[in-house]
């Protein structure tokens, strides 16, 4: 008992020896709050004031980290949605080239040219870094030193007076739309959210691109005022040189005006631009990119700014036509984004010569004494804003026969003064220029070019649908019966109407539609004389069937389109394209071409030779009523060119303003230039085999003896399928032959058996002695032949 009692302890003694138990935290609490616990442990042994001071600073920092981590994850996740390839993709203008690779101009997209890092002046690289982001080559997208300095300055100034954007951050902002759709656009939270997202995207850009690539994309993307984008376009616009040729002074100026390109533009105020240049040079010295001596030397240099008279960029008719053609062959998104290389069929040398020739020739008429209209020079002297030009206009189109390629297109005298493209948009009556298609239709129906046809006045009811209408000829005369070809060579109206009536109105209309005239032909005999309205491009394209043996290639202006990386955009290799077709029979086309060649020798186009173009060619003039429109359309074996002269609002140019006077000389200048450039005229002979046959001029059929007697037979040399068939003989002169035979049969024949011949004297016998005898001659007296040496 005693022993057991001695081992027992009282509650009081037990409580004295027990140590207090430490409070235990759960595992989740430790994981979540370990930074606080770590701070507590690290500061536990420090003196009380120090310990509590560090904890007062440290706990808010840890709380800030707790808030920052979810934000970092949130913005990192949002930044992951942006395609980094978009940094290098930016709208740029499409470059337009002629068929030889010469630049014609640039269109669509933004006014920029994308270049590589190696094509940028090193002086400019240092200038833009010194001005915009001095620690660019050492930070990783965000300059935290600069960021902190800007925040302190903004707090001091109580406003957002200092920015902290690096070049990478600016590139992120310029490359992507960083605004949140769920926040109000004008809300301060929107700007704060955008800034955080910009930081996240900047880190992604730095991870995907080298510093050189970031600089390249940045300077290609930024704005330099006056719609200019990118360093190359800025350098060419302001200094007329490439970005790789910028010197230190020029580079510093371009870097200096970036922050206010419109405000500091040297075109607006050169003194402001010079001030920004000098500031940039000072920053380059601080950044140790240049020495103070180099900076002072650059400040002393004059700035060679593009002179004011060269700051206006002129439009051209070729570019206008390319814009219209692009809308036809490409979808809008391809066009507007730009960045395409468009190779056209234009020959820039011929294009420029055509524009110069048209202007020069029309100016000579405007300078004549008594010219009755406003001249272009007088219109140009009017104060701005000037009305739409009302002076004498002209247009022309040159097409390559065997391809349909448009070699030159001029829509007026100046593309800056008028945007109305007369080469493609103007529809004017084409007058006698239409007559070759009337004759070609008749030749398809078997009419011979040497067949005789009347040039006299039309008799009432003679021509279907004409009633009592009868046209006059331009010279007021009527020539009676003439070979058909004379009607085209000398542009005889009455003969042409009869030829059209022979072919039939439906057939002529069908030919007109087939060769490319868009407007339906008026179903009236007057249409045979050219009341159809068409553009110069339509007329030129239609005329190519004559030197092509009846084939036509639809006109085209663009040969190919490629993206910046060389990918072919047009033509689509999987899409079938119409190459050519045959709207006119080959023999009819060749016959018409031969007659149009004679037009240039002794017809309305004879002035071509006098003006110095002596190569084989064919063509036709055209003049509408009251001399409102003057045309000349002609071709060689290589090219066809159509020229129109007139006013936008139709009115008489002046008396006797014929196509041979107003339009033909322009054609000669253009075609002489083309020939010098290698577009040779090798002759217009048909490839069809020719056969000779005797043909009747009146009927156009094989000649008979009656035709020979009547004097209407002649020998024709034509392709075999164009001659009348072997058994297709003329019967119009059978009565002539019968009459001739009748006269022969009625002639008296002498027959010795007839009675009346008894009266003829008879031979009487001579009796014996009365008959003379032959006398013998002695041998010696016979004359001998004397030999001659």
At residue 558's C-alpha, the angle toward residues 556 and 562, to 5°, is: 155
pLDDT at 778 over 60: no
pLDDT mean over 123-147:
88
Domain of residue 479, CATH code: 3.40.710.10
Q: What is the predicted pLDDT for the residue at 749? A: 43
Q: Bigger pLDDT: 479 or 147?
A: 479
Residue-level pLDDT at 43: 75
Same structural domain, 126 and 224: yes
Asked whether residue 271 falls in the same domain as residue 186, the answer is yes
Most confident of 29-38, 177-186, 500-509: 500-509
- What phi, psi does 179 have (nearest 5°)? -85, 145
pLDDT score, position 143: 83
In a domain, 755, yes or no: no
- The alpha helices in 176-287, defined as continuous H runs, are 188-208, 211-221, 231-239, 248-256, 270-286
- For residue 576, the model assigns a pLDDT of 63
Give tens-digit pLDDT for 325-348: 988 888 776 777 778 999 999 999
Q: How confident is the model at residue 780 (pLDDT cuts 50, 70, 90)?
A: very low
Question: Beta-carbon neighbour count of residue 42 at 10 Å?
Answer: 13
pLDDT of residue 311: 75
Whether the predicted pLDDT of 769 surpasses 50: no
Residue 277 in any domain: the answer is yes
Calculate mean pLDDT across residues 640-656: 96
**Are 191 and 231 in a shared domain?**
yes
Say yes or no: 189 and 231 in one domain: yes
Whole-number Å distance between alpha carbons of 494 and 455: 5
pLDDT of residue 753: 46
254 and 125 in a common domain: yes
CA distances from 746 to 50, 127, 682 (A): 159, 118, 59
Q: Which of 197-201, 395-399, 584-588, 693-697 has the lowest mean pLDDT?
A: 693-697
pLDDT of residue 158: 54
The predicted pLDDT at position 26 comes to: 59
Q: Which pLDDT tens digit goes with each residue over 60-90?
A: 776 666 666 777 788 788 888 888 988 988 8
Residue 514 lies in a domain: yes
Evaluate if residue 318 carries a pLDDT over 60. Answer: yes
- Give residue 647's pLDDT band: very low, low, confident or very high (50, 70, 90): very high
- Asked whether residue 32 carries a pLDDT value surpassing 70, the answer given is no
Using one digit for the tens of pLDDT, what is the confidence trace for 250-269?
999 999 999 899 889 999 98
Q: How far is CA 78 from the centre of its chain?
A: 44
pLDDT band at 693 (very low <50, low <70, confident <90, very high): confident
The rounded distance, in Å, linking the Cα atoms of 611 and 93 is 43
Q: Is the pLDDT of residue 412 over 70?
A: yes
User: Is residue 641, in this structure, part of any structural domain at all?
Assistant: no
Whether 132 and 57 map to the same domain: the answer is no
What confidence score (pLDDT) does residue 12 get? 47
The pTM assigned to this predicted structure is 0.73
Q: Which of 497, 526, 555 is the last residue of a domain?
A: 526
Q: What is the mean pLDDT of residues 414-443?
A: 95
Say yes or no: 73 and 222 in one domain. no
278, 294, 310 - which closes a domain: 310
**Residue 258 and residue 133 share a domain:** yes
Do strands 340-344 and 94-97 pair parallel, antiparallel, or not at all (unpaired)?
parallel
Give the orientation angle of helix 270-286 with respect to helix 248-256, to 10 degrees.
100
Q: Is 731 helix (H, G, I), strand (E, B) or coil?
A: coil
The gap from C-alpha 60 to its chain's centroid, in whole angstroms, comes to 68
Same domain, 154 and 268: yes
Mean pLDDT for the chain overall: 84
Percent of the chain with pLDDT over 90: 53
Please indicate whether residue 387 or residue 710 has the higher confidence score (pLDDT). 387
Q: What is the pLDDT of residue 90?
A: 84
pLDDT at 254: 96
Q: What is the pLDDT of residue 36?
A: 62
Domain interval for residue 133: 112-310
Asked if the structure places residue 27 within a domain, the reply is no
What are the DSSP E strand ranges found in 101-233? Answer: 103-107
Q: For residue 258, tell me if it sits in a domain.
A: yes
Q: What was the pLDDT predicted at 64?
A: 65
Least confident of 72-81, 445-454, 485-494, 655-664: 72-81
Which residues are within 8 A (CB) of 670 and not within 5 positions of it... i.e. 6 or more apart?
A: 350, 353, 354, 357, 396, 398, 408, 641, 643
Report the candidate in 310, 331, 309, 322 with the shortest Cα–Cα distance to residue 105.
Answer: 322
Does 185 share its domain with 233?
A: yes
Taking 60 as the threshold, does the pLDDT of residue 764 lie above it? Answer: no
Q: Using an 8 Å Cβ cutoff, are 546 and 592 in contact?
A: yes
Q: What percent of the chain has pLDDT over 70?
A: 82
> What is the pLDDT, as a whole number, of residue 688?
53
518 and 453, same structural domain? yes
**pLDDT score recorded for residue 194:** 83
Q: Are residues 145 and 284 in the same domain?
A: yes
């Amino acid at each position: 008992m005693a022993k057991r009692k001695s081992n027992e302890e009282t509650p009081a003694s037990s409580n004295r020896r027990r140590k207090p138990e430490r409070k235990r935290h759960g595992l989740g609490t430790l994981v979540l709050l370990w930074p606080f616990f770590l701070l507590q442990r690290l500061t536990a042994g420090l003196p009380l004031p120090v310990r509590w001071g560090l904890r007062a600073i440290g706990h808010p920092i840890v709380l800030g980290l707790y808030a920052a981590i979810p934000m970092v994850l949130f913005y990192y996740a949002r930044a992951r949605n942006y395609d980094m390839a978009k940094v290098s993709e930016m709208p740029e203008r499409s470059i337009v080239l002629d068929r030889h690779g010469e630049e014609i101009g640039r269109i669509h997209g933004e006014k920029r040219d994308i270049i590589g890092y190696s094509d940028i002046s090193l002086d400019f690289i240092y200038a833009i870094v010194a001005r915009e982001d001095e620690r660019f080559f050492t930070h990783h997208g965000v300059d935290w030193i600069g960021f902190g300095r800007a925040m302190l300055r903004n707090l001091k100034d109580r406003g957002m007076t200092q920015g902290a954007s690096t070049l990478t951050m600016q590139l992120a902002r310029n490359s992507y739309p960083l605004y949140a759709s769920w926040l109000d656009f004008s809300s301060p939270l929107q700007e704060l959210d955008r800034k955080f997202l910009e930081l996240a995207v900047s880190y992604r850009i730095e991870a995907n691109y080298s510093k050189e690539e970031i600089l390249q994309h940045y300077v290609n993307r930024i704005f330099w005022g006056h719609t200019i984008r990118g360093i190359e376009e800025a350098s060419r616009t302001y200094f007329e040189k490439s970005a790789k040729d910028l010197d230190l002074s020029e580079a510093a100026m371009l870097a200096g005006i970036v922050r206010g390109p419109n405000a500091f533009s040297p075109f607006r105020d050169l003194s402001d631009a010079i001030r920004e240049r000098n500031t940039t040079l000072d920053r380059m010295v601080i950044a140790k990119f240049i020495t103070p001596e180099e900076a002072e030397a650059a400040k002393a240099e004059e700035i060679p700014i593009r002179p004011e008279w060269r700051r206006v960029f002129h439009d051209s008719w070729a570019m206008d036509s390319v814009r219209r053609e692009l809308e036809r062959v490409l979808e809008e998104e391809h066009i507007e984004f730009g960045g395409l290389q468009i190779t056209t069929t234009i020959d820039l040398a011929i294009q420029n010569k055509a524009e110069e020739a048209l202007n020069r020739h029309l100016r000579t008429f405007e300078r004549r004494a008594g010219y009755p209209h406003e001249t272009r020079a007088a219109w140009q002297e009017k104060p701005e804003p000037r009305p739409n030009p009302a002076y004498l206009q002209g247009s022309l189109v040159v097409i390559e026969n065997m391809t349909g390629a448009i070699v030159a297109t001029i829509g007026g005298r100046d593309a800056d003064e008028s945007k109305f493209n007369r080469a493609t948009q103007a529809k004017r009556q084409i007058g006698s220029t239409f007559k070759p298609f009337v004759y070609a239709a008749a030749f398809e129906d078997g009419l011979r070019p040497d067949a005789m046809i009347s040039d006299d006045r039309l008799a009432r009811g003679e021509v279907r649908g004409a009633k009592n209408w009868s046209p006059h000829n331009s010279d007021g005369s009527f020539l009676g019966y003439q070979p058909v070809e004379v009607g085209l060579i000398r542009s005889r109206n009455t003969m042409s109407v009869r030829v059209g009536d022979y072919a039939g109105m439906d057939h002529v209309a069908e030919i007109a539609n087939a060769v490319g005239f868009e407007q339906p032909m008026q179903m009236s005999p007057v249409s045979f004389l050219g009341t159809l309205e068409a553009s110069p491009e339509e007329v030129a394209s239609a005329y190519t069937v004559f030197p092509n043996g009846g084939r036509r290639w639809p006109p085209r202006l663009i040969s190919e389109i490629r993206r910046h990386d060389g990918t072919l955009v047009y033509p689509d290799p999987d899409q079938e394209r119409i190459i050519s077709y045959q709207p006119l029979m080959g023999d009819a086309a060749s016959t018409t071409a031969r007659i149009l060649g004679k037009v240039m020798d002794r017809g309305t186009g004879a002035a071509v030779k006098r003006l110095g173009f002596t190569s084989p060619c064919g063509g036709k003039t055209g003049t509408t009523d009251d001399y409102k429109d003057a045309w000349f359309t002609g071709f060689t074996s290589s090219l066809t060119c159509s020229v129109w002269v007139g006013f936008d609002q139709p009115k008489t140019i002046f008396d006797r303003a014929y196509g041979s006077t107003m339009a033909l000389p322009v054609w000669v200048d253009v075609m002489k230039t083309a020939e010098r450039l290698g577009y040779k005229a090798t002759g217009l002979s048909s490839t069809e085999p020719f056969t000779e046959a005797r043909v009747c001029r009146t009927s156009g059929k094989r000649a008979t003896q009656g035709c020979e007697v009547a004097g209407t037979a002649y020998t024709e040399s034509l392709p075999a399928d164009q001659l009348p068939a072997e058994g297709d003989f003329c019967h119009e002169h059978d009565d002539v032959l019968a009459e001739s035979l009748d006269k022969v049969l009625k002639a008296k024949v002498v027959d010795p058996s007839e009675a009346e011949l008894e009266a003829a004297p008879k031979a009487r016998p001579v009796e014996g002695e009365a008959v003379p005898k032959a006398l013998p001659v002695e041998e010696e007296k016979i004359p001998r032949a004397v030999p001659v040496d």
